[in-house]
């Protein structure tokens, strides 16, 4: 039962923050590739070019790390919300529209409006 609940929670987190999870994984892969590529470049470089390569390498790594931290925070924020609560702008607009319609005295379906139109023309 615990394994099922853990799987359900992980799937729900992935479903809510799919892009963030993928960007974290891509950032990890890019950090690994950057480290390996720049290690090779630094072994081939002689002289003052090593400082530039080291600076560029750490700039790229810290940029990817900050991107990962940002998306981890996004993932944890979406995971901390309860399962059923998702409030978006579209729901707010729909609720306002529903309230405006429900405030009317006479609610008619489309077929009622068409029948009323034809009754008036006779």
In the prediction, which pLDDT does 94 show?
Answer: 64
Is 63 buried (19+), middle (13-18) or exposed (0-12) by CB count in 10 A?
A: middle
HEC profile for 24-87? HHHHHHHHHHHHHHHHHHHHHCCCCHHHHHHHHHHHHHHHHHHHHHHHHHHHHHHHHCCCCCCC
Gyration radius of the chain's alpha carbons: 28
pLDDT at 91 (0 to 100): 55
- Distance CA(41)–CA(53), nearest Å, equals 8
Within 10 angstroms of residue 68's Cβ, the number of other Cβ atoms is 19
What are the tens digits of pLDDT across the range 54-77?
A: 889 999 999 999 999 998 888 888
pLDDT for position 9: 72
More confident residue, 33 or 83: 33
Section 47-59 average pLDDT? 87
- pTM, two decimals, is 0.56
What is the structure's pLDDT at 86? 55
Extents of the domains making up the chain: 2-121
Residue written as token pair 């400082």: 51
Can you give the pLDDT at residue 67?
93
Per-residue pLDDT at 35 exceeds 70: yes
Question: Residue 121: what pLDDT?
Answer: 79
């Amino acid at each position: 039962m615990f394994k099922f609940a853990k799987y359900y929670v992980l799937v729900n987190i992935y479903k809510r923050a799919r892009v963030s999870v993928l960007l974290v994984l891509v950032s990890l892969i890019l950090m690994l590739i950057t480290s390996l590529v720049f290690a090779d470049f630094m072994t081939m470089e002689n002289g003052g070019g090593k400082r530039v390569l080291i600076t560029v390498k750490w700039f790229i790594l810290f940029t990817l790390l900050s991107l990962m931290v940002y998306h981890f925070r996004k993932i944890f924020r979406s995971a901390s919300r309860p399962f059923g609560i998702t409030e978006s702008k579209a729901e707010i607009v729909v609720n306002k529209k529903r309230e405006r319609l429900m405030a009317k005295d006479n609610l008619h379906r489309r077929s009622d409006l068409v029948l009323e139109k034809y009754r008036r023309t006779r």
